[in-house]
Amino acid sequence: MVFAHLSNVVVLALLAVSQLSSAQPHGERHGRRFATPDGASTTGDKGGIVYSPYNADGTCKDQSSFLSDAAQLQGFSRLRLYGIDCNQVTYGIAAAKQYGFKLFLGIHNIASSDDEIKQLITQVGSDWGLVDTVSVGNEVVNSGQMSASDVAARVNSARDLLRPAGYTGPVVTVDTFVAIMANPVLCEASDYAAANCHPFFDGKVAASASGDFLKTQSQNVQNACGGKKVLITETGWPSQGNSNGACVPSPDNQAAALSSIKSAMGSNVIYFTAFDDLWKTDTPATFNAEKHWGIQNLGF
């Protein structure tokens, strides 16, 4: 494990930075074992992609803009959404029908997860065949919002609501790979292990070695989770920002990292993120790279 030689204080600091990198700051964001998270769609072979439905000023995109963006993401098998605000589930369903995605849907406000699950059920309607996964929370344990056991209880409660509504697919919680390894109850509650893993925040990984880093950490998560299948639910590299040790943001390094990840992991990842998130705020805590993780400009 990469952090094995570090002090607990440093590990916690790294975890906090990782959470900041992927958090969605809007109020709404951010026998049941399944053989594999793979094979969500036969129409794409590039893995999954994160999408945020916000304009540069933070307002919600309309359906036309959402679908225009989605048209540029054809070839990805999963479209990951973090919340239920901005009609993103409704628009996501329309995009899935038009462009062949499956949806990795999310509940961001875990404190009100049951209420949000009910809203998600209403928005999906009868289109559960387009839903690959439902996630409850994103890096909630890593950020200190809730204990691992409480998160697990929320996942189980969500599943109990989803099954009678007609959804029979995987229900998970997403957290950092370090948080999952330290709290295996998270993968016990999940139908597969859903882990965010960003080589950039390690500070010691060359962009061209990103794939090997992910492969190692994915295996570490699988070992910690008793052999359960693993999906990397966020990974990528920024194109702009400040250096984090040996990890340097640049267009060339972003391209090298993505190539390495694709070579090592195939389609078993969800890339972060589709487009630069201009609605976010760059801060020193995330190396002033917060806005600059979009990959679609690479023609990936």
Q: Tokens standing for 228?
A: 């359960």
Assess whether 28 carries a catalytic annotation.
no
**Rounded distance between C-alpha atoms, residue 275 and residue 21, angstroms:** 15
**Read out DSSP for 3-63?**
TTTS-HHHHHHHHHHHHHHH---STT------S-S--S-SS--S-EEE---B-TTSPBP-H
**Element containing residue 64 per DSSP (H, E):** helix 63-71
**Read out DSSP for 83-118?**
-SGGGHHHHHHHHHHHH--EEEEEE--GGGHHHHHH
Q: Which of 28, 116, 139, 234 is catalytic?
A: 234
- Sign, Cα dihedral of 104, 38, 174, 160: positive
**Rounded distance between C-alpha atoms, residue 277 and residue 290, angstroms:** 8
- Sign, Cα dihedral of 282, 288, 293, 298: positive
Count other Cβ atoms within 10 Å, centred on residue 149. Answer: 12
- For helices 148-162 and 113-124, the axis angle rounded to 10 degrees is 30
Q: Which residues are catalytic?
A: 234
